[in-house]
Protein backbone atom coordinates (compact mmCIF):
# COMPACT_ATOMS: atom_id res chain seq x y z
CA UNK A 1 0.00 0.00 0.00
CA UNK A 2 1.06 3.55 -0.58
CA UNK A 3 1.48 5.95 2.31
CA UNK A 4 -1.36 8.14 3.37
CA UNK A 5 -4.96 7.76 4.14
CA UNK A 6 -7.91 6.19 2.39
CA UNK A 7 -10.33 8.56 0.69
CA UNK A 8 -13.91 8.14 -0.47
CA UNK A 9 -14.37 5.92 -3.49
CA UNK A 10 -15.77 8.53 -5.93
CA UNK A 11 -12.88 10.92 -5.25
CA UNK A 12 -10.41 8.07 -5.46
CA UNK A 13 -11.73 6.99 -8.84
CA UNK A 14 -11.74 10.51 -10.23
CA UNK A 15 -8.18 11.18 -9.08
CA UNK A 16 -7.00 7.81 -10.39
CA UNK A 17 -8.44 8.73 -13.79
CA UNK A 18 -6.64 12.09 -13.71
CA UNK A 19 -3.36 10.44 -12.76
CA UNK A 20 -3.90 7.90 -15.54
CA UNK A 21 -4.20 10.78 -17.99
CA UNK A 22 -0.98 12.25 -16.64
CA UNK A 23 0.69 8.84 -17.05
CA UNK A 24 -0.49 8.83 -20.67
CA UNK A 25 1.48 12.02 -21.23
CA UNK A 26 -0.98 14.83 -20.55
CA UNK A 27 0.72 17.43 -18.41
CA UNK A 28 -2.01 20.01 -18.96
CA UNK A 29 -5.48 19.95 -17.46
CA UNK A 30 -5.29 16.65 -15.54
CA UNK A 31 -2.08 17.62 -13.79
CA UNK A 32 -3.48 21.05 -12.97
CA UNK A 33 -6.59 19.36 -11.56
CA UNK A 34 -4.42 17.20 -9.31
CA UNK A 35 -2.53 20.32 -8.26
CA UNK A 36 -5.82 21.93 -7.23
CA UNK A 37 -6.60 18.90 -5.10
CA UNK A 38 -3.26 18.29 -3.43
CA UNK A 39 -1.24 21.51 -3.41
CA UNK A 40 -2.74 23.04 -0.24
CA UNK A 41 -2.35 19.78 1.68
CA UNK A 42 1.24 19.40 0.51
CA UNK A 43 2.05 23.03 1.25
CA UNK A 44 0.48 22.89 4.73
CA UNK A 45 2.37 19.71 5.43
CA UNK A 46 5.58 21.19 4.06
CA UNK A 47 5.30 24.26 6.28
CA UNK A 48 4.93 22.11 9.38
CA UNK A 49 7.57 19.56 8.42
CA UNK A 50 10.18 21.85 6.92
CA UNK A 51 9.42 24.99 8.87
CA UNK A 52 10.16 27.25 5.96
CA UNK A 53 7.93 28.72 3.24
CA UNK A 54 10.54 28.46 0.51
CA UNK A 55 11.14 24.80 1.25
CA UNK A 56 7.42 24.11 1.47
CA UNK A 57 7.04 25.62 -1.99
CA UNK A 58 9.92 23.53 -3.24
CA UNK A 59 8.30 20.42 -1.80
CA UNK A 60 5.10 21.11 -3.73
CA UNK A 61 6.95 21.75 -6.97
CA UNK A 62 9.28 18.80 -6.57
CA UNK A 63 6.35 16.52 -5.80
CA UNK A 64 4.61 17.46 -9.04
CA UNK A 65 7.78 17.08 -11.08
CA UNK A 66 8.31 13.62 -9.60
CA UNK A 67 4.64 12.80 -10.00
CA UNK A 68 4.95 13.54 -13.69
CA UNK A 69 8.05 11.38 -13.99
CA UNK A 70 6.63 8.41 -12.17
CA UNK A 71 2.91 8.58 -12.96
CA UNK A 72 3.25 5.46 -15.09
CA UNK A 73 4.17 3.44 -12.04
CA UNK A 74 0.84 4.24 -10.41
CA UNK A 75 -1.19 1.09 -9.83
CA UNK A 76 -4.75 1.70 -8.59
CA UNK A 77 -4.73 -1.79 -7.06
CA UNK A 78 -2.07 -0.67 -4.62
CA UNK A 79 -3.70 2.48 -3.34
CA UNK A 80 -5.25 5.78 -4.26
CA UNK A 81 -3.74 8.47 -6.46
CA UNK A 82 -3.59 10.69 -3.41
CA UNK A 83 -1.67 8.10 -1.43
CA UNK A 84 0.68 7.58 -4.40
CA UNK A 85 1.29 11.32 -4.57
CA UNK A 86 1.99 11.59 -0.86
CA UNK A 87 4.39 8.66 -1.02
CA UNK A 88 6.29 10.62 -3.66
CA UNK A 89 6.13 13.76 -1.53
CA UNK A 90 7.51 11.88 1.46
CA UNK A 91 10.50 10.74 -0.55
CA UNK A 92 11.00 14.28 -1.84
CA UNK A 93 10.86 15.65 1.71
CA UNK A 94 13.44 13.15 2.92
CA UNK A 95 15.71 14.04 0.00
CA UNK A 96 15.30 17.75 0.63
CA UNK A 97 16.10 17.41 4.31
CA UNK A 98 19.08 15.21 3.63
CA UNK A 99 20.38 17.71 1.11
CA UNK A 100 20.05 20.54 3.59
CA UNK A 101 21.16 18.46 6.56
CA UNK A 102 23.18 21.34 7.94
CA UNK A 103 20.08 23.48 8.31
CA UNK A 104 18.41 23.72 11.66
CA UNK A 105 15.17 21.77 11.55
CA UNK A 106 12.87 23.28 14.09
CA UNK A 107 10.05 20.83 13.58
CA UNK A 108 11.72 17.48 13.11
CA UNK A 109 13.19 15.60 16.04
CA UNK A 110 16.23 13.55 15.15
CA UNK A 111 17.80 13.50 11.75
CA UNK A 112 17.21 10.01 10.41
CA UNK A 113 15.15 9.37 7.30
CA UNK A 114 12.84 7.24 9.42
CA UNK A 115 12.19 10.11 11.80
CA UNK A 116 11.32 12.37 8.89
CA UNK A 117 9.05 9.74 7.38
CA UNK A 118 7.33 9.18 10.68
CA UNK A 119 6.74 12.88 11.13
CA UNK A 120 5.51 13.09 7.56
CA UNK A 121 3.04 10.24 8.08
CA UNK A 122 1.82 11.81 11.27
CA UNK A 123 1.14 15.04 9.40
CA UNK A 124 -0.64 13.15 6.63
CA UNK A 125 -2.83 11.63 9.31
CA UNK A 126 -3.47 15.12 10.68
CA UNK A 127 -4.54 16.29 7.22
CA UNK A 128 -6.88 13.31 7.02
CA UNK A 129 -8.38 14.18 10.39
CA UNK A 130 -8.90 17.78 9.34
CA UNK A 131 -10.59 16.60 6.17
CA UNK A 132 -12.85 14.29 8.16
CA UNK A 133 -13.94 17.25 10.30
CA UNK A 134 -14.83 19.11 7.13
CA UNK A 135 -17.05 16.24 6.06
CA UNK A 136 -19.26 16.39 9.18
CA UNK A 137 -22.77 17.81 9.27
CA UNK A 138 -22.64 21.62 9.64
CA UNK A 139 -23.75 21.77 13.28
CA UNK A 140 -20.92 19.46 14.30
CA UNK A 141 -18.38 20.81 11.86
CA UNK A 142 -18.90 24.43 12.92
CA UNK A 143 -18.11 23.95 16.58
CA UNK A 144 -15.09 21.76 15.94
CA UNK A 145 -13.73 24.16 13.34
CA UNK A 146 -14.09 27.12 15.66
CA UNK A 147 -12.02 25.20 18.19
CA UNK A 148 -9.40 24.08 15.67
CA UNK A 149 -9.02 27.21 13.63
CA UNK A 150 -9.75 29.93 16.13
CA UNK A 151 -9.30 28.24 19.48
CA UNK A 152 -12.48 29.92 20.70
CA UNK A 153 -13.66 29.31 24.25
CA UNK A 154 -17.17 27.93 24.81
CA UNK A 155 -18.88 31.26 25.53
CA UNK A 156 -17.32 32.75 22.39
CA UNK A 157 -18.53 29.82 20.32
CA UNK A 158 -22.02 30.27 21.77
CA UNK A 159 -21.96 33.93 20.86
CA UNK A 160 -20.56 33.36 17.38
CA UNK A 161 -23.13 30.73 16.51
CA UNK A 162 -25.97 32.37 18.43
CA UNK A 163 -26.74 29.25 20.43
CA UNK A 164 -26.95 28.61 24.21
CA UNK A 165 -23.82 27.53 26.05
CA UNK A 166 -25.42 24.17 26.89
CA UNK A 167 -25.95 23.52 23.18
CA UNK A 168 -22.27 24.23 22.50
CA UNK A 169 -21.28 21.54 25.01
CA UNK A 170 -23.73 19.06 23.51
CA UNK A 171 -22.59 19.79 19.97
CA UNK A 172 -18.95 19.34 20.85
CA UNK A 173 -19.73 15.99 22.43
CA UNK A 174 -21.87 14.80 19.52
CA UNK A 175 -19.39 16.31 17.11
CA UNK A 176 -16.75 14.02 18.59
CA UNK A 177 -19.07 11.03 18.24
CA UNK A 178 -19.78 11.89 14.61
CA UNK A 179 -16.07 12.42 13.99
CA UNK A 180 -15.32 9.00 15.42
CA UNK A 181 -17.62 7.40 12.88
CA UNK A 182 -16.15 9.48 10.08
CA UNK A 183 -12.59 8.56 11.08
CA UNK A 184 -13.52 4.89 11.24
CA UNK A 185 -15.09 5.08 7.83
CA UNK A 186 -11.90 6.59 6.46
CA UNK A 187 -9.80 3.91 8.10
CA UNK A 188 -8.05 6.43 10.34
CA UNK A 189 -9.35 4.91 13.54
CA UNK A 190 -9.99 1.28 14.43
CA UNK B 1 -27.01 8.72 12.48
CA UNK B 2 -25.26 9.38 15.73
CA UNK B 3 -26.66 7.41 18.61
CA UNK B 4 -28.04 9.73 21.23
CA UNK B 5 -26.39 9.23 24.60
CA UNK B 6 -27.13 11.41 27.57
CA UNK B 7 -24.06 12.33 29.54
CA UNK B 8 -24.07 14.21 32.76
CA UNK B 9 -20.98 16.37 32.42
CA UNK B 10 -19.15 18.35 29.73
CA UNK B 11 -17.28 15.33 28.37
CA UNK B 12 -16.49 16.83 24.98
CA UNK B 13 -14.54 19.74 26.39
CA UNK B 14 -13.01 17.48 29.00
CA UNK B 15 -11.66 15.15 26.30
CA UNK B 16 -10.39 18.06 24.25
CA UNK B 17 -8.51 19.38 27.28
CA UNK B 18 -10.49 22.61 27.28
CA UNK B 19 -11.66 22.67 30.88
CA UNK B 20 -10.01 24.58 33.68
CA UNK B 21 -8.66 22.77 36.68
CA UNK B 22 -11.81 23.05 38.77
CA UNK B 23 -14.08 21.83 35.96
CA UNK B 24 -11.73 18.99 35.18
CA UNK B 25 -11.69 17.82 38.78
CA UNK B 26 -15.47 17.87 38.79
CA UNK B 27 -15.71 15.73 35.65
CA UNK B 28 -13.12 13.26 36.92
CA UNK B 29 -14.95 12.85 40.16
CA UNK B 30 -18.14 12.15 38.23
CA UNK B 31 -16.39 9.63 35.98
CA UNK B 32 -15.32 7.73 39.08
CA UNK B 33 -18.91 6.99 39.92
CA UNK B 34 -20.81 6.99 36.59
CA UNK B 35 -20.27 4.00 34.36
CA UNK B 36 -22.19 5.43 31.42
CA UNK B 37 -20.08 8.59 31.27
CA UNK B 38 -16.93 6.56 31.76
CA UNK B 39 -17.82 4.36 28.80
CA UNK B 40 -18.65 7.40 26.66
CA UNK B 41 -15.31 9.00 27.55
CA UNK B 42 -13.38 5.82 26.76
CA UNK B 43 -15.12 5.55 23.42
CA UNK B 44 -14.13 9.06 22.37
CA UNK B 45 -10.68 9.32 23.86
CA UNK B 46 -8.83 8.26 20.71
CA UNK B 47 -10.99 10.53 18.55
CA UNK B 48 -10.22 13.52 20.73
CA UNK B 49 -6.51 12.72 20.59
CA UNK B 50 -6.66 12.57 16.79
CA UNK B 51 -8.56 15.83 16.62
CA UNK B 52 -5.73 17.47 18.50
CA UNK B 53 -3.41 16.47 15.65
CA UNK B 54 -5.64 17.85 12.91
CA UNK B 55 -3.52 19.71 10.38
CA UNK B 56 -5.21 22.13 8.05
CA UNK B 57 -4.13 22.56 4.45
CA UNK B 58 -2.60 25.95 3.71
CA UNK B 59 -3.09 27.67 0.38
CA UNK B 60 0.31 28.08 -1.28
CA UNK B 61 1.30 31.35 -2.99
CA UNK B 62 -0.82 31.90 -6.07
CA UNK B 63 2.10 31.79 -8.50
CA UNK B 64 3.34 28.42 -7.29
CA UNK B 65 0.97 26.54 -9.56
CA UNK B 66 2.39 28.25 -12.60
CA UNK B 67 5.95 27.60 -11.45
CA UNK B 68 5.28 23.93 -10.73
CA UNK B 69 3.42 23.38 -13.98
CA UNK B 70 6.10 25.04 -16.06
CA UNK B 71 8.77 22.93 -14.36
CA UNK B 72 6.81 19.88 -15.47
CA UNK B 73 6.30 21.33 -18.93
CA UNK B 74 10.04 21.88 -19.32
CA UNK B 75 10.57 18.22 -18.52
CA UNK B 76 7.74 17.06 -20.72
CA UNK B 77 8.84 19.09 -23.66
CA UNK B 78 12.37 17.90 -23.28
CA UNK B 79 14.28 20.98 -22.30
CA UNK B 80 17.60 19.10 -22.27
CA UNK B 81 19.04 21.07 -19.38
CA UNK B 82 16.18 19.82 -17.29
CA UNK B 83 16.40 16.30 -18.62
CA UNK B 84 19.97 16.16 -17.40
CA UNK B 85 19.08 17.63 -14.07
CA UNK B 86 16.26 15.18 -13.66
CA UNK B 87 18.57 12.19 -13.91
CA UNK B 88 15.55 9.98 -13.69
CA UNK B 89 15.50 6.26 -14.10
CA UNK B 90 14.35 5.49 -17.62
CA UNK B 91 10.64 5.60 -17.83
CA UNK B 92 9.64 4.00 -21.03
CA UNK B 93 6.55 4.97 -22.85
CA UNK B 94 5.76 2.17 -25.25
CA UNK B 95 5.57 3.82 -28.59
CA UNK B 96 4.77 1.70 -31.55
CA UNK B 97 5.34 3.42 -34.79
CA UNK B 98 4.40 1.88 -38.02
CA UNK B 99 7.27 2.67 -40.31
CA UNK B 100 5.53 4.55 -43.07
CA UNK B 101 6.19 3.30 -46.55
CA UNK B 102 6.20 6.81 -47.94
CA UNK B 103 8.92 7.84 -45.53
CA UNK B 104 11.01 4.83 -46.40
CA UNK B 105 10.90 5.62 -50.09
CA UNK B 106 11.59 9.29 -49.54
CA UNK B 107 14.44 8.43 -47.22
CA UNK B 108 16.00 6.12 -49.76
CA UNK B 109 15.66 8.68 -52.49
CA UNK B 110 17.16 11.41 -50.34
CA UNK B 111 20.03 9.18 -49.34
CA UNK B 112 20.68 8.30 -52.97
CA UNK B 113 21.01 11.99 -53.78
CA UNK B 114 23.17 12.70 -50.77
CA UNK B 115 25.50 9.76 -51.17
CA UNK B 116 25.93 10.50 -54.86
CA UNK B 117 28.72 8.86 -56.81
CA UNK B 118 30.62 7.59 -53.81
CA UNK B 119 27.67 5.72 -52.43
CA UNK B 120 26.39 4.62 -55.77
CA UNK B 121 27.75 1.11 -55.43
CA UNK B 122 26.12 0.61 -52.06
CA UNK B 123 22.78 1.91 -53.11
CA UNK B 124 22.80 -0.10 -56.30
CA UNK B 125 22.41 -3.14 -54.12
CA UNK B 126 19.80 -1.48 -51.99
CA UNK B 127 16.43 -2.78 -53.13
CA UNK B 128 15.08 0.77 -52.76
CA UNK B 129 12.93 -0.02 -49.75
CA UNK B 130 14.57 -0.86 -46.48
CA UNK B 131 15.60 -4.51 -46.53
CA UNK B 132 15.54 -6.77 -43.53
CA UNK B 133 16.61 -4.57 -40.65
CA UNK B 134 19.47 -5.79 -38.51
CA UNK B 135 18.36 -3.60 -35.65
CA UNK B 136 15.11 -1.90 -34.83
CA UNK B 137 15.07 0.05 -31.64
CA UNK B 138 13.08 2.61 -29.75
CA UNK B 139 14.90 5.44 -28.05
CA UNK B 140 13.51 7.31 -25.09
CA UNK B 141 14.51 10.17 -22.84
CA UNK B 142 15.14 9.52 -19.18
CA UNK B 143 11.69 10.73 -18.24
CA UNK B 144 9.99 8.94 -21.10
CA UNK B 145 8.55 12.08 -22.60
CA UNK B 146 10.63 12.17 -25.76
CA UNK B 147 11.26 9.27 -28.02
CA UNK B 148 12.53 8.20 -31.39
CA UNK B 149 12.51 5.10 -33.43
CA UNK B 150 15.48 3.86 -35.37
CA UNK B 151 16.25 1.10 -37.77
CA UNK B 152 19.58 -0.13 -39.05
CA UNK B 153 19.68 -1.90 -42.37
CA UNK B 154 22.63 -3.60 -43.99
CA UNK B 155 23.45 -2.11 -47.35
CA UNK B 156 26.43 -3.66 -49.08
CA UNK B 157 29.36 -3.57 -46.69
CA UNK B 158 27.89 -0.71 -44.65
CA UNK B 159 24.75 0.16 -42.80
CA UNK B 160 22.05 2.68 -43.27
CA UNK B 161 20.52 4.00 -40.10
CA UNK B 162 17.21 5.79 -40.18
CA UNK B 163 16.02 7.79 -37.21
CA UNK B 164 12.69 9.40 -36.70
CA UNK B 165 11.49 11.57 -33.84
CA UNK B 166 8.74 14.11 -33.40
CA UNK B 167 9.78 15.05 -29.88
CA UNK B 168 13.24 16.55 -30.01
CA UNK B 169 13.24 20.26 -29.29
CA UNK B 170 14.55 22.65 -31.89
CA UNK B 171 17.99 23.78 -30.74
CA UNK B 172 19.54 27.22 -30.61
CA UNK B 173 21.63 28.19 -33.59
CA UNK B 174 24.98 26.42 -33.63
CA UNK B 175 23.87 23.41 -31.61
CA UNK B 176 22.93 20.06 -33.10
CA UNK B 177 22.05 16.51 -32.22
CA UNK B 178 24.38 13.58 -32.76
CA UNK B 179 23.39 9.96 -33.21
CA UNK B 180 25.77 7.35 -31.81
CA UNK B 181 26.23 3.62 -32.04
CA UNK B 182 27.06 2.50 -28.54
CA UNK B 183 29.00 -0.60 -27.58
CA UNK B 184 29.45 -2.48 -24.31
CA UNK B 185 30.96 -0.70 -21.32
CA UNK B 186 30.29 2.76 -22.68
CA UNK B 187 30.15 5.41 -20.01
CA UNK B 188 30.97 9.06 -19.65
CA UNK B 189 34.68 9.49 -19.38
CA UNK B 190 35.28 6.14 -21.07
CA UNK B 191 33.12 6.17 -24.17
CA UNK B 192 32.76 3.21 -26.49
CA UNK B 193 30.67 4.74 -29.23
CA UNK B 194 30.87 5.65 -32.88
CA UNK B 195 29.16 8.66 -34.41
CA UNK B 196 26.56 7.93 -37.04
CA UNK B 197 26.04 11.56 -37.92
CA UNK B 198 24.56 14.85 -36.79
CA UNK B 199 21.21 16.43 -37.46
CA UNK B 200 18.65 19.13 -36.70
CA UNK B 201 14.89 18.75 -36.42
CA UNK B 202 13.00 20.60 -39.15
CA UNK B 203 11.06 23.74 -38.34
CA UNK B 204 8.07 21.66 -37.21
CA UNK B 205 10.27 19.85 -34.71
CA UNK B 206 10.40 16.64 -36.73
CA UNK B 207 13.54 14.69 -37.28
CA UNK B 208 13.63 12.21 -40.15
CA UNK B 209 17.23 11.42 -40.88
CA UNK B 210 19.19 8.75 -42.64
CA UNK B 211 22.89 8.14 -42.26
CA UNK B 212 25.30 5.65 -43.73
CA UNK B 213 27.87 4.21 -41.39
CA UNK B 214 30.39 1.39 -41.33
CA UNK B 215 29.34 0.04 -37.99
CA UNK B 216 28.33 -3.50 -37.09
CA UNK B 217 25.25 -3.27 -34.88
CA UNK B 218 26.16 -6.60 -33.34
CA UNK B 219 29.16 -4.91 -31.79
CA UNK B 220 27.45 -1.60 -31.16
CA UNK B 221 23.90 -2.67 -30.41
CA UNK B 222 22.55 0.48 -28.77
CA UNK B 223 21.79 3.91 -30.18
CA UNK B 224 21.84 7.19 -28.33
CA UNK B 225 21.26 10.80 -29.20
CA UNK B 226 23.24 13.61 -27.62
CA UNK B 227 22.93 17.32 -27.82
CA UNK B 228 26.14 18.89 -28.99
CA UNK B 229 27.09 22.45 -28.19
CA UNK B 230 28.71 23.17 -31.53
CA UNK B 231 32.05 23.93 -29.89
CA UNK B 232 34.01 21.98 -32.47
CA UNK B 233 34.92 19.28 -29.95
CA UNK B 234 34.23 16.00 -31.74
CA UNK B 235 34.76 13.83 -28.66
CA UNK B 236 31.78 11.95 -27.32
CA UNK B 237 31.46 13.63 -23.96
CA UNK B 238 27.93 14.97 -23.83
CA UNK B 239 25.15 13.31 -21.84
CA UNK B 240 22.59 11.23 -23.70
CA UNK B 241 19.27 12.87 -24.43
CA UNK B 242 17.73 9.70 -25.84
CA UNK B 243 18.81 6.13 -25.34
CA UNK B 244 17.88 2.80 -26.81
CA UNK B 245 15.28 1.09 -24.74
CA UNK B 246 16.52 -2.38 -23.86
CA UNK B 247 14.12 -4.99 -25.13
Domain boundaries, chain B: 11-52, 75-244
Do residue A110 and residue A41 come from a single domain?
yes
CA angle B219, B151, B225 (to 5 degrees): 75
Task: Give yes or no for B56 touching A (CB within 8 A).
Answer: yes
Q: What per-residue confidence (pLDDT) applies to B110?
A: 37
CATH 2.60.40, domain B75-244, yes or no: yes
Q: How confident is the model at residue A6 (pLDDT cuts 50, 70, 90)?
A: low
Do residue A10 and residue A84 come from a single domain?
yes
Q: Is the pLDDT of residue A29 over 90?
A: yes
Per the CB < 8 A criterion, the answer to whether B239 and B84 are in contact is: yes
Do residue A140 and residue A123 come from a single domain?
no
Do residue A109 and residue A33 come from a single domain?
yes
Element (H, E) at B24: helix B21-33
From B51, B73, B93, residue closest to A144, measured CB to CB: B51
Interface test with A, best of B54, B73, B75 (most A CBs within 10 A): B54
In whole angstroms, give the CA distance from residue A35 to residue B59. 11
Do residue A112 and residue A141 come from a single domain?
no
The CA distances from residue B205 to A75, B5, B167, B202, in Å, are 33, 71, 7, 5
Do residue A79 and residue A113 come from a single domain?
yes
Do residue A189 and residue A96 come from a single domain?
no
Biggest CA–CA distance in chain B, Å, is 108
Q: Which domain holds residue A100?
A: 1-128
- A75-110 tens-digit pLDDT: 888 888 999 999 999 999 999 988 765 444 444 445
CB contact under 8 A, B2 and A178: yes
Which has the closest alpha carbon to A148: B140, B5, B54, B48? B54
Residue that finishes a domain, picked among A103, A128, A153 = A128
Q: What per-residue confidence (pLDDT) applies to A2?
A: 66
Interface test with B, best of A28, A53, A180 (most B CBs within 10 A): A180
Q: Domain count of chain A?
A: 2
Contacts of A27 (CB under 8 A, 6+ apart): A68, B69, B72, B73, B76
Contacts of B37 (CB under 8 A, 6+ apart): B7, B8, B9, B11, B30, B31
Residue that finishes a domain, picked among A90, A109, A128 = A128
Do residue A38 and residue A124 come from a single domain?
yes
- Global ipTM: 0.86
Q: What per-residue confidence (pLDDT) applies to B130?
A: 45
Which residues does chain B have within 8 Å of residue A181's beta carbon, measured at their own beta carbons?
Answer: 2
CATH classification at residue A116: 1.10.1740.10
Quick one: DSSP state of residue A110?
Answer: S
From A27, A123, A133, residue closest to B76, measured CB to CB: A27
Do residue A85 and residue A177 come from a single domain?
no
Per the CB < 8 A criterion, the answer to whether B240 and B187 are in contact is: no
Contacts of B181 (CB under 8 A, 6+ apart): B161, B193, B194, B195, B196, B213, B215, B217, B220, B222, B223
In whole angstroms, give the CA distance from residue B134 to residue B44. 71
Sequential pLDDT tens for chain B (247 residues): 444 556 788 999 999 999 999 999 999 999 999 999 999 999 999 999 999 999 999 999 999 999 999 999 888 887 554 444 444 333 333 333 333 333 333 334 433 333 333 232 323 333 333 456 778 888 887 766 778 888 888 776 678 888 888 878 888 777 788 899 888 888 877 788 888 888 888 877 788 888 877 788 888 888 988 888 777 777 777 778 888 876 5
Do residue A29 and residue A116 come from a single domain?
yes
- A42-52 tens-digit pLDDT: 999 999 998 88
Which has the closest alpha carbon to A54: A65, A40, A43, A68? A43
From B16, B51, B145, residue closest to A25, measured CB to CB: B145
In total, chain A counts a number of residues equal to 190
In whole angstroms, give the CA distance from residue A12 to residue A76. 9
Which residues does chain A have within 8 Å of residue B55's beta carbon, measured at their own beta carbons?
Answer: 44-45, 48, 123, 126-127, 129-130
CATH classification at residue A142: 1.10.10.10
CB contact under 8 A, A57 and B64: yes
Task: Give yes or no for B61 touching A (CB within 8 A).
Answer: yes
Q: What per-residue confidence (pLDDT) applies to B141?
A: 78
Per the CB < 8 A criterion, the answer to whether B59 and B23 are in contact is: no
Phi-psi region of B127 (alpha: psi -120 to 50; beta: other; left: phi over 0): alpha
CB contact under 8 A, A35 and B65: yes
In whole angstroms, give the CA distance from residue B16 to residue B8. 17
CB contact under 8 A, A44 and B18: no
Do residue A157 and residue A118 come from a single domain?
no
- Model confidence, pTM: 0.57
CA angle A171, A177, A183 (to 5 degrees): 125
- A134-185 tens-digit pLDDT: 999 999 999 999 999 988 999 999 999 999 999 999 999 999 999 999 999 9
Do residue A116 and residue A94 come from a single domain?
yes
Amino acid sequence: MYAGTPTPVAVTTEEAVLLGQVAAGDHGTPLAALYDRYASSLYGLGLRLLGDRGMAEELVQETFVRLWRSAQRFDPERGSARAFTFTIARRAAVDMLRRTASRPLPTVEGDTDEAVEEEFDSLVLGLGVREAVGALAPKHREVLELILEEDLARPEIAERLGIPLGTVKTRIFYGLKALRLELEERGLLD
Amino acid sequence: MTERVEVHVDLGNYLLGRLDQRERAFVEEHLGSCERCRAAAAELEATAALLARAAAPVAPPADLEQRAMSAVRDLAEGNPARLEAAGARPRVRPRTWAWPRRLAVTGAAAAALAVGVFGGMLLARDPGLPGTPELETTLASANGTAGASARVTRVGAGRVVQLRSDDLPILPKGEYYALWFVGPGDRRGAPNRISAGTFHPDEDGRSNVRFTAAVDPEKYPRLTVTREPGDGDPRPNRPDILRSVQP
